[in-house]
Amino acid sequence: MPRYWILARGIVLTSPVFKPDDMLRIRILHGPNLNLLGTREQSIYGTLSLDALDSAITKLAKELAVTVDLRQSNSEGELVTWIQEARAAYDGIIINPAAYTHTSIAIRDAIAAVGLPTIEVHLSNIHQREEFRHRSYIAGVAIGQIAGFGPIGYLLALRGLHNHLTASGCLKNITGSSTARQTARRTR
Ligand code: DQA
């Protein structure tokens, strides 16, 4: 997209410049065993590696002018810490808690505690699988759940969260010195 347009009579129209501090920031967390994507149970989770998935997410984030922070952990405590830390510096969370979806009250409590809009993602349709996967401790504190679309689910989540955050007025004031979002970040 051009940064400026030269109109008749030398009038120059500039496009809004997104300074890093004006950009939405979203933390994206992958839970246990997702580091094995691409080789793990390919008939369920496909052949795309985590690195390739993260690249696709980063590409979309650039298009949407969103800053993303992507992390994977096999440890419940580390995921809880990353959720807690997000409170001060991020506008929302996308999380695939993997097996912790079905067991972790700690991750649920962390999401509830920080109060950031959170989308739960699963590559597979957990509701079509074994009974123990039907229950999600996370769904009750998420704004939504996306399951069954494979890697595209993360892209849908990013678009959905971006839409949720902008539609709720976070970026309405990007030209001002202090956006509602920045104020919220400071006071959280
Ligand atoms: C998963 C589904 C979980 O039940 C499972 O434990 C995972 C991956 C998914 O993305 O489909 O590890 O979250």
**pLDDT reported for residue 24:** 97
Computed over every residue of the chain, the mean pLDDT equals: 87
**E strand intervals along the chain:** 4-6, 12-14, 24-30, 66-72, 92-96, 118-122, 144-147
Residue ranges, the chain, pLDDT below 50: 1-7, 10-16, 172-180, 183, 186
Ligand 1 close to Cβ of residue 99 (< 6 A): yes
Ligand 1 close to Cβ of residue 146 (< 6 A): no
Nearest CA to ligand 1 atom 6: 99
Question: Per DSSP, what are the bridge partners of residue 70?
Answer: 28
**Number of residues in the chain:** 188
Tokens of 29: 């967390």
For residues 24 and 68, give the distance between their C-alpha atoms in angstroms, rounded to a whole number. Answer: 8
pTM for the whole structure: 0.83
Ligand 1 close to Cβ of residue 157 (< 6 A): no
For residues 117 and 181, give the distance between their C-alpha atoms in angstroms, rounded to a whole number. Answer: 12
